[in-house]
Structure formats: structure tokens, C-alpha cells
Amino acid sequence: MSSSNLNEPKRIHPHKFTLWVAMGSICMMFAGLTSAYIVKRNQDNFLQFDLPKVFWYSTMVILLSSFTIQLAVKSFKAREMGRYRSLITITALLGVAFAALQVMGFSNLESHGIKLTGSGSNAAASFILVIVGLHMLHVLGGVIVLLVTFVRAFATRTRNYNSAPIEIVSTYWHFVDVLWLYLLVFFMWIR
């Protein structure tokens, strides 16, 4: 091996680079929304309320899903395809469960008289709906990618052990997990 090969910089996969740019943009969007929430909460008519406990349950679900996707990546790299398929399936199901728990949280708010939209709604509840709803859309986008990965894991006849696609999916999934933790802490401390 020549010394020029040793000194060449290692290049990042183009899709990984694109993902990092997209995640940066998403961070900027949520930073803007949470900043607007802080500004808006200083108004006199801003409603103070606690988030339902179901949001904590959804947090446990998304943390577990981060664990399962990390195990899926490890299984893929070890070429344990049966285990990889199982873990991708579990991760996708946990993503759907997370979204369902979020919907239950909003239903809980509505059942306690906190209107999220329309007449009689308050900016606090509407902000939470928009911010958490956007996060939920990003999670559902991740679930769709997980389902595509799931289908590919079961449909592929040839063995292609390029780990870049699952690493990209995993990075995004960890990102939405950390983003949710930020939002939960934000809403717990900045009410």
C-alpha cells in the first residue's frame, strides 16, 4: 500500500452528508418553534397545564426503539440477518406505538378541556400540537423508511452487506429520539 493511500482523507457517504444537513435544518426549525413558544408564553392569557403521563410512556417506547435499531445495525454488520430482520420489525412497531401514544396524549388533553385548535383554544396547547405534531410527522417518516428497510431485508435474494443504508436510518432514528427528549424536557421546564 502506498503512503498516498494512507494519507487520503476518508470521505463521508453522500447520503450521510445529506442526512446531516437535513438534521441541521430540522434542528433550526424546532429551535425557532421553541423560541416562539418562549416568547408567546409571556402573554397574560397563556394557559399553564401539565403534559399527560402518556407522553412519558411514549418516551420509554422511543428510547427502547433506539436500542433496538442499534442492535439491528450491530446484527446487520455481524451478518445475522434473521436477528436483523426481527429487530427492524420491532423498531418499526415501536415507532408506530410511539405515534399512537402521542395521539393518545393529545386526546387526553382534549378530554381534560384543553382545546388544541379552533375557537376556545389557547396558544399554549396549539403550540404543543404544532411542535409535537411536527415531531410525530418526522417519526412517521422514519417509520416509513424503516418499513422500506424491512421490506428490503425480507425481499433481497442477493446478499449485499453494505451497511450504509441501515446506518443512515439508525442515525436518523437516534436523531428523532434525541429531538423528542429535548422537546419533552423543554415542555416540562418551560411551561
**Domain spans in the chain, listed from the N-terminal domain onward:** 52-189
User: What is the distance, to the nearest Å, from the Cα of residue 143 to the centroid of all Cα atoms in its chain?
Assistant: 9
**Predicted local confidence at residue 9, as pLDDT:** 67
Give just the sign of the alpha carbon dihedral 70, 181, 20, 141.
positive
**Predicted local confidence at residue 174, as pLDDT:** 95
pLDDT, mean over the chain: 86
- Output 57 or 14, whichever has higher pLDDT: 57
Average the pLDDT over 30-56 and give the result.
Answer: 86
Dist CA 30 CA 47 (whole Å): 21
Q: Is the pLDDT of residue 90 over 80?
A: yes
44-89 residue pLDDT tens: 777 777 888 999 999 999 999 999 999 999 999 998 988 999 999 9
Average the pLDDT over 119-125 and give the result.
Answer: 79
Q: How confident is the model at residue 11 (pLDDT cuts 50, 70, 90)?
A: confident
**Predicted local confidence at residue 179, as pLDDT:** 95
Residues 52-189, CATH architecture: Up-down Bundle (1.20)
Average the pLDDT over 96-109 and give the result.
Answer: 92
Nearest Cα residue to 176 out of 58, 79, 84: 58
| High-pLDDT (> 90) share of the chain, % | 47
Nearest Cα residue to 146 out of 61, 57, 75, 73: 73
Q: Cβ(173)–Cβ(69) under 8 Å?
A: yes
Q: How confident is the model at residue 191 (pLDDT cuts 50, 70, 90)?
A: low
**Predicted local confidence at residue 114, as pLDDT:** 81
**Taking CA 182 as the corner, what is the angle to CA 181 and CA 183, rounded to the nearest 5 degrees?**
90
**Predicted local confidence at residue 7, as pLDDT:** 63
Q: Is the pLDDT of residue 19 over 60?
A: yes
pTM: 0.84
